[in-house]
Amino acid sequence: MNMLAFAINAAERAPLTDSMTLAGIDYLCARTKHRLSTTSQDAENMFVEAMGNFPVATHTDEANRQHYEVPAEFFSLTLGPQRKYSCCLYPSPHTTLAEAETYALAETVEHAEIKDGNSILELGCGWGSLSLYLAQQFPNSRITSVSNSASQRDYILAMAQKHGLGNLTVITADMNDFTTNERFDRVVSVEMFEHMSNWRTLLERVREWLNPHGKLFLHVFTHKDRSYRFNHQDPADWIARHFFTGGIMPAHDLPHRFADLFSVEREWRWSGTHYRRTALDWLANFDREIHRIKPIFAKVYGQDSTLWQRRWRLFFLATAGLFGHDNGHVWGVGHYLLRPAG
Would you state the pLDDT for residue 308? Answer: 93
Strands 119-123 and 142-147: parallel
pTM of this structure? 0.94
Q: Given this model, what pLDDT does residue 137 score?
A: 98
CB atoms within 10 A of CB 182: 11
Domain ranges of the chain: 39-69+115-280+314-340
- Confidence at residue 238, expressed as pLDDT on a 0 to 100 scale: 76
Q: What does the H/E/C string look like for the chain? A: CCHHHHHHHHHHHCCCCHHHHHHHHHHHHHHHHHHHHCCCHHHHHHHHHHHCCCCCCCCHHHHHHHHHCCCHHHHHHHCCCCCCCCCCCCCCCCCCHHHHHHHHHHHHHHHHCCCCCCEEEEECCCCCHHHHHHHHHCCCCEEEEEECCHHHHHHHHHHHHHCCCCCEEEEECCCCCCCCCCCEEEEEEECCHHHCCCHHHHHHHHHHHEEEEEEEEEEEEEECCCCEECCCCCCCCHHHHHCCCCCEECECCHHHHHCCCEEEEEEEEECHHHHHHHHHHHHHHHHHCHHHHHHHHHHHHHHHHHHHHHHHHHHHHHHHHHHHHHHHCCEEEEEEEEEECC
- List phi, psi (to 5°) of 223: -100, 150
Q: What is the pLDDT tens value at each position of the chain, 342 positions in all?
A: 344 455 566 667 767 889 998 998 999 999 999 999 999 889 999 999 999 999 998 866 665 565 556 888 999 999 999 999 999 999 999 999 999 999 999 999 999 999 999 999 999 999 999 999 999 999 999 999 999 989 999 999 999 999 999 999 999 999 999 999 999 999 999 999 999 999 999 999 999 999 999 999 999 999 999 999 987 666 666 777 888 888 999 999 999 999 999 999 999 999 999 999 999 999 999 999 999 999 999 999 999 999 999 999 999 999 999 999 999 999 999 999 999 998
Number of neighbours of residue 328 by Cβ within 10 angstroms? 19
**How far is 54 from 44, CA to CA, in rounded Å?**
16
- pLDDT value for 161: 97
Interatomic CA distance for residues 20 and 321, integer angstroms: 11
**What pLDDT score was predicted for residue 221?**
98
| Burial group, residue 13, by CB count within 10 angstroms (0-12, 13-18, 19+) | exposed
Of 320, 245, 236, 311, nearest to 276 by C-alpha is: 320
**Looking at this protein, which amino acid is placed at residue 81?**
P
Return the closest-CA partner of residue 282 out of 318, 255, 246, 335.
318
Taking the C-alpha atoms of residue 134 and residue 128, their distance in angstroms, rounded to an integer, is: 10
Which residue in 49, 48, 46, 3 sits closest to 28, CA to CA? 3
Q: Which amino acid, 262?
A: F
Q: Are strands 248-249 and 228-229 parallel, antiparallel or unpaired?
A: antiparallel
The pLDDT value recorded for residue 10 is 65
Classify domain 39-69+115-280+314-340 at the CATH class level.
Answer: alpha beta
